[in-house]
């Protein structure tokens, strides 16, 4: 037998309704916020992620699925959604559309990581990206969209943490302060942080090694180094969030894993799914579009990990709606009535409801047993007398009551009685 690759998961037929529920919630929120869906390829040129995500990130350093295709190109399976959407935005000249351009996506993403609960090699994200607006109102709206999504799923106990990592100007000063602070500790820090120290000291704050984390606790805070514009921007974001009743706390150690962030960064974190607690992360990336060869256009977005949300919902007993069940099972006694079952099923299905018939040449008794197993809400047995009278004996499975229903009134009867 061939097994599933490490770090990947199947979604089984009796589990997919949970995925659909989460995805439907994402699409509803997207509609409410006037975000339009975009779909980009699962693979891109490797260079896109090297430039877009950044050479000093864990993602580019060690987590990418990169291979050479038969044409000798270096190809990478998308490790996140933003770089591809930014490429699409530039390549299709969307910079000339009325601003802002508000988009969302639901996509698989691939990272070569050590698999554990909430950390997979193929996982899925619901993300939004809004292009063209520098204003703090947009930051607040994007954060509000994420929090509306979590609310819609009735997820509790997730905390919003925000930070500002400033712009190029204030980050320059801050990086100097970080270097001064970390320099005497470098021999006790991981090799990765030693290289971050040279290339991008801010990244050190994102290290997952306990030793480095401990040293970083007393590092200077970015919020003490923000320039006046960045400070004002951050203050406005905070007051807009407060005005919308969104609770948050400022966590100055959030710098986000990817290189392209500037100013506002945020995470929604749960304490109930172990170490992989961040269910949603995002921020402003004002430099990315330009860095990828587009015009200097600001942008902001987030991505929520669907597997982590699912885990959180299952761990905390958040109710999922019921799985889809057939509205009616039509059991046939003989060949002629089985043909009538198929016709009636087509009529019910044509009205948009779910009907089921026998596929296994089962006896009527076995069909009824099966109907019960699959949770059909109503059952009707069709035989010679039903064929000639065109009246069905429809049994309601929840209370065992039966009613005589004209076959051409079956659908409206079912809908009325299903309430
Ligand atoms: P982490 O710190 O947990 O590694 P990250 O900063 O690498 O997260 P992002 O790149 O911001 O994560 O991705 C956004 C979201 O996607 C995360 O908050 C998380 O919910 C989800 N995610 C990221 N990596 C994985 C993974 N390997 N498996 C499952 N979900 C993931
Ligand atoms: Mg990561």
The per-residue DSSP string of 134-182 comes to -SHHHHHHHHHHHHHHHHHTT--SEEEEEEE---HHHHHHHHHHHHHHH
* pLDDT of 161 higher than 90: yes
Give residue 27's pLDDT: 98
**CB contact at 8 A, 266 and 163:** yes
* pLDDT of 200 higher than 90: no
pLDDT tens for 162-174 read 999 999 888 889 9
* pLDDT of 256 higher than 80: no
CA–centroid distance, 305 to ligand 1, in Å, is: 6
Give residue 55's pLDDT: 82
Q: State the pLDDT confidence band at 73, using cuts at 50, 70 and 90.
A: very high
Give residue 294's pLDDT: 95
Among 154-158, 273-277, 282-286, which is the least confidently predicted range? Answer: 273-277
pTM: 0.93
CA–centroid distance, 93 to ligand 1, in Å, is: 30
Q: Give CA–CA dist 286/252, Å, rounded.
A: 20
* pLDDT of 257 higher than 80: no
pLDDT tens for 29-66 read 999 999 999 999 999 999 999 999 888 788 998 999 99
CB of 80 within 6 A of ligand 1: the answer is yes
Mean pLDDT of the chain: 95
Ligand nearest, relative to CA of residue 117? 1
Mean pLDDT across 97-103: 97
Give residue 415's pLDDT: 96
* pLDDT of 125 higher than 90: yes
* pLDDT of 377 higher than 90: yes
Query: Ligand 1, from 257, 259, 304: best to mutate by most atoms within 8 Å of Cβ?
Result: 257
Percent of the chain at pLDDT exceeding 70 = 99
Candidates 214, 195, 216; CA nearest to 58 is 195
Mean pLDDT across 132-146: 98
For residue 201, the SS3 value is: helix
Mean pLDDT across 276-284: 94
């Amino acid at each position: 037998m061939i097994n599933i690759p490490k770090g990947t998961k199947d979604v089984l037929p009796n589990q997919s309704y949970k995925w659909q529920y989460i995805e439907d919630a994402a699409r509803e929120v997207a509609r409410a916020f006037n975000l339009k869906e975009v779909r980009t390829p699962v693979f891109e040129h490797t260079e896109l992620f090297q430039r877009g995500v950044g050479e000093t990130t864990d993602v580019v350093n060690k987590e990418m699925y990169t291979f050479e295709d038969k044409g000798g190109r270096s190809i990478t399976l998308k490790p996140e959604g933003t770089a591809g959407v930014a490429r699409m935005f530039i390549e299709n000249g969307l910079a000339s559309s009325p601003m802002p351009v508000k988009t969302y996506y639901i996509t698989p993403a691939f990272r070569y990581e050590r698999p554990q609960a909430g950390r997979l090699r193929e996982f899925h994200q619901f993300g939004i990206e809004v292009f063209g607006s520098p204003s703090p109102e947009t930051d607040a709206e994007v954060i509000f969209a994420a929090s509306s999504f979590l609310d819609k799923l009735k997820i509790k106990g997730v905390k919003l943490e925000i930070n500002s990592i400033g712009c190029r100007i204030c980050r320059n000063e801050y990086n100097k302060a970080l270097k001064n602070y970390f320099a005497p500790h470098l021999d006790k820090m991981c090799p990765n942080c030693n290289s971050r120290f040279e290339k991008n000291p801010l990244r050190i704050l994102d290290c997952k090694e306990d030793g480095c984390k401990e040293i970083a606790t007393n590092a200077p805070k970015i919020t003490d180094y923000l320039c006046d514009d960045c400070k004002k921007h951050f203050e406005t974001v905070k007051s807009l969030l407060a005005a919308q009743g969104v609770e948050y706390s400022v966590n100055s150690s959030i710098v986000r894993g990817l290189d392209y962030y500037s100013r506002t960064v945020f995470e929604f974190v749960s304490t109930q799914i172990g170490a992989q607690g961040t269910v949603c992360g995002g921020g402003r990336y004002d430099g990315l579009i330009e860095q990828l060869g587009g015009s200097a256009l600001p942008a902001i977005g987030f991505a929520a990990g669907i597997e982590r949300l699912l885990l959180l919902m299952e761990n905390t007993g958040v109710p999922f709606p019921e799985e889809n069940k057939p509205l009616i099972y039509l059991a046939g006694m003989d060949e002629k009535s089985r043909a009538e079952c198929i016709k009636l099923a087509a009529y019910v299905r044509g009205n948009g409801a779910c009907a089921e018939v026998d596929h296994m040449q089962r006896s009527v008794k076995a069909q009824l047993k099966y109907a019960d197993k699959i949770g059909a809400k109503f059952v009707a047995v069709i035989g010679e007398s039903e064929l000639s009278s065109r009246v069905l004996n429809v049994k309601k499975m929840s209370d065992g009551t039966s009613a005589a229903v004209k076959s051409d009134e079956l659908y409206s009867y079912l809908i009325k009685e299903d309430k």
